[in-house]
Amino acid sequence: MTPERETAHFAQGTGRPWLDLTLALSAIFISIISLIVAVRHGAAMDRLVAANSWPFLTYGTSNQDVKGDPRILLQVENAGVGPARIETFEVWWGDQPIASSLDLLRHCCMSDPGVQIDRATARAMRLSVGVIAPSVLRAGDAQTFLGLERTDANAEIWNRLDTARIKIRMRACYCSVFDECWESDLVETNTKEVKVCPVPKVPFHLSESWFSSSAEAPAPSN
């Protein structure tokens, strides 16, 4: 028997070197363009996913509740489309940093800033307070950090707070679910992108003594 011989196969060309070179370069060019399109499409999809998870915090305030009764609320609202992980929150009255909702009320609206407000006093005043950071705020939700229902007994303080609520300065640093973080004054639409939220010199919070008080606390407003 005569063994079968393998026949070598060679790439077929056009017989015209310049045309073969042109076709090869065209194929390489098309491959590069396809790769660029794929990369840009992936980047666009990443931006779309990020946009669909974008949080945006704003300051919201009102002096009437849904029933039309006089009640002041100072809130942080998430007007974005994704949850906000609030890392830090700061408040200033004038040039003075404020450490808590109670300090804010004392400095802006009470004749004696040194007066102490415990939980029993807050309840009698129809005062509610809350914590903004650290927390997670869902899209479309709001968190109240100070609320005051108007009564005959607190009318003077309520009126002062009604004027002061639009003069308060704030700053918050918050992040998305993708760990993209921003700083905002909660008033302007522009935000500053940051890699890491800086530690505030005077964080806005409630002291442990407030929570350990034996007096019954007013329910925080949401």
Report pLDDT digits (tens) over 133-172. Answer: 999 999 999 999 999 999 999 999 999 999 999 999 999 9
Report pLDDT digits (tens) over 14-40. Answer: 566 766 677 677 777 777 777 777 677
Supply the pLDDT for residue 147.
96
- Percentage of the chain modeled with pLDDT above 90: 61
Q: How far apart are CA 123 and CA 178, in angstroms?
A: 40
The b-or-e profile of 48-70 (16+ CB within 10 A means b, else e) is eeeeebbbbbbbebeeeeeeeee
If we measure between CA atoms, which residue out of 203, 195, 75, 193 comes closest to residue 140? 75
The answer to whether the Cα torsion of 68, 139, 173, 51 is positive or negative is: negative
Residue 99: pLDDT above 90?
yes
If we measure between CA atoms, which residue out of 48, 101, 76, 52 comes closest to residue 173? 76
Report pLDDT digits (tens) over 105-143. Answer: 999 999 887 888 888 889 999 999 999 999 999 999 999
2 pLDDT band, cuts 50/70/90, is: low
Q: How far apart are CA 49 and CA 210, in angstroms?
A: 41
The answer to whether the Cα torsion of 8, 10, 12, 16 is positive or negative is: negative
Maximum CA extent, the chain: 118
Is the distance from CB of 157 to CB of 144 less than 8 angstroms?
no
pTM: 0.74
Supply the pLDDT for residue 11.
54
* Cβ-based neighbours of 96, under 8 Å, separated by 6 or more: 107
